[in-house]
């Protein structure tokens, strides 16, 4: 198991995130995906000397690494182990927040440690749990599925066009205990040749997202975060693939009142509570030179407007 010393992670789109959050001394911030603490550390530095950050993560190794890294900030940093589904209850006592951040997806340390089972490039167990204390692993998930269920997961979460042939081969080869063996099965059954990415990329993404209920957790987290923002506070979400980004974009548009009922002059009948900012990290070198994960990163932010109602 990866220990806190080996859990090192360079944050993606750091400068753009800080610009959107605009941390200030005395502010209270919530990092819902603390990871190894890179974004959290930058927010603490920018909000000194009195800014505070509540750091949440469901990966015990990540939270231990962040706690060690941020020990010098004392009680300005509060680590909490939690999944997105419990954020409303866990983080509410510290609300309202001047800024909230979600950095989605799997982190580099999780990919780099084969015992976590996220990567097919180095052999490990077919695990893929972000929370190593949960019972469901990718192996137990595959053991519980029929062809229809696995095809649905591969199509929904991986957008895999050859889902049926891959699903059939995977289920015939159960039980799976090796990530390399599983990846080889996918590569052979898929029929992909000379593709730019490994043939198992979409399958592994789909299984990981299903094991960790990533889209369901994201939906809950967005609702909780929007409800805990202080007037003038900003919610930032960094996503890494189109499924997440579409969810974020649609929810932000709804919150900002786009498409809401309008009067004859085209003005919203009910003033929106939020203003959506089109801050986005663009893929490639312009996103974050030298950082591989930044190639697919997208940053969106939304700000809660001060109340226009009489006090």
Q: Are residues 101 and 225 in the same domain?
A: yes
Of the listed ranges 51-60, 76-85, 161-170, 298-307, the one predicted with least confidence: 298-307
Q: What does the pLDDT read at residue 115? A: 93
Classify residue 27: in a domain, yes or no. yes
Q: Is residue 116 part of a domain?
A: no
Burial class (CB in 10 A: 0-12, 13-18, 19+), 204: buried
Output the average pLDDT for the chain: 87
Give the model confidence (pLDDT) of 88-132 as tens digits: 899 999 999 999 999 997 777 777 789 999 999 999 999 999 999
Predicted confidence (pLDDT) at residue 172 exceeds the cutoff of 60: yes
Residue that terminates a domain, selected from 163, 185, 211: 211
Residue 249 placed within a domain: yes
Same domain flag for 88 and 38 = yes
In angstroms, the CA 94 to CA 108 distance is 29
Domain contains 126 = no
pLDDT > 70: percent of the chain:
84
Identify whether residues 198 and 219 lie together within a single domain: no
Better pLDDT: 108 or 9:
108
pLDDT at position 62 over 50: yes
CB 116 within 8 A of CB 2: yes
Q: Give Cβ neighbours of residue 2 (< 8 Å, ≥ 6 apart).
A: 61, 109, 110, 113, 115, 116
Domain match, 222 and 267 both = yes
Question: Average of pLDDT values for 279-305?
Answer: 62
The pLDDT of 1-18, averaged and rounded, is: 68
Same domain as 225, residue 163: no
Indicate the residue among 154, 185, 211 that finishes a domain. Answer: 211
Q: Does residue 204 share a domain with residue 263? A: no
Q: Which two tokens stand for residue 209?
A: 């997202």
Same domain for 289 and 148: no
3-state secondary structure of 234: strand
For residue 5, pLDDT beyond 60: no
- Looking at the structure, tell me whether residues 188 and 257 fall in a common domain: no
What is the residue whose two structure tokens read 């889902």?
163
Q: Please indicate, yes or no, whether residues 250 and 167 belong to a single structural domain of this protein.
A: no
| Proportion of the chain above pLDDT 90, given as a percent | 68
- Residue that finishes a domain, picked among 211, 233, 262: 211
> How many domains, the chain?
2
What is the distance between the alpha carbons of residues 61 and 35, in angstroms, rounded to a whole number?
Answer: 9
- Does residue 118 form part of some domain? no
Contact 100, 228 (CB under 8 A): yes
Looking at the fold, whether 104 and 231 belong to one and the same domain comes out as yes
**Three-class DSSP category at 9:** coil
pLDDT at residue number 151: 98
The answer to whether position 311 is within a domain reads: no
Please report, for the domain that includes residue 14, its CATH number. Answer: 3.40.50.150
The answer for residues whose C-beta is within 8 angstroms of residue 52's C-beta and 6 or more apart is: 27, 28, 29, 75, 76, 77, 78, 94
Residue 114 lies in a domain: no
Residue 171 in any domain: the answer is yes
Flag whether pLDDT at 308 surpasses 50.
no
* Per-residue pLDDT tens over the stretch 223-280: 999 999 999 999 999 998 889 999 999 999 888 876 655 556 555 555 567 777 654 4
Query: What 3-state DSSP class applies to 56?
Result: strand
Domain that holds residue 176: 132-211
Whether residues 172 and 265 fall in one domain: no
Residue 154 sits in a domain whose CATH number is 1.10.150.170
Please give the pLDDT value at position 285.
35
- Domain match, 104 and 14 both: yes
């Amino acid at each position: 198991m990866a220990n806190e010393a080996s859990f090192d992670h360079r944050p993606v789109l750091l400068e753009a995130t800080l610009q959107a959050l605009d941390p200030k001394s005395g502010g209270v911030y919530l990092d819902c995906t603390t990871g190894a603490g890179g974004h959290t550390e930058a927010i603490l530095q920018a909000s000194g000397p009195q800014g505070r950050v509540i750091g949440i993560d469901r990966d015990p190794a990540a939270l231990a690494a962040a706690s060690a890294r941020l020990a010098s900030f004392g009680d300005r940093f509060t680590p909490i182990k939690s999944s997105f589904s419990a954020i409303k209850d866990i983080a509410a006592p510290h609300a309202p927040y001047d800024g909230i951040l979600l950095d989605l997806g799997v982190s580099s340390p999780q990919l780099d440690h084969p015992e976590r089972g996220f990567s097919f490039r180095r052999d490990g167990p077919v695990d893929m749990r972000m929370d190593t204390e949960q019972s469901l692993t990718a192996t137990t998930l595959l053991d519980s599925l029929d062809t229809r269920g696995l095809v649905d997961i591969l199509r929904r979460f991986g957008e895999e066009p050859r889902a049926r042939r891959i699903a059939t081969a995977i289920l015939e080869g159960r039980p799976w205990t090796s990530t390399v063996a599983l990846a080889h099965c996918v590569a052979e059954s898929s029929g992909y040749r000379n593709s730019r990415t490994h043939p198992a990329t979409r399958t592994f993404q789909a299984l990981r997202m299903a094991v960790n209920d990533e889209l369901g957790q994201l939906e809950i987290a967005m609702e909780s975060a929007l409800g805990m923002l202080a007037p003038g506070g900003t919610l930032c979400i960094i996503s890494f693939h189109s499924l997440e980004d579409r969810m974020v974009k649609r929810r932000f548009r709804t919150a900002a009142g786009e498409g809401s009922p309008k009067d004859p002059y085209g003005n919203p009948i009910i003033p929106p509570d939020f203003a959506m900012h089109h801050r986005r990290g663009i893929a490639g070198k312009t996103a974050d030179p030298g950082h591989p994960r930044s190639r697919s990163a997208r940053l969106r932010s939304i700000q809660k407007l001060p109340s226009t109602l009489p006090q």
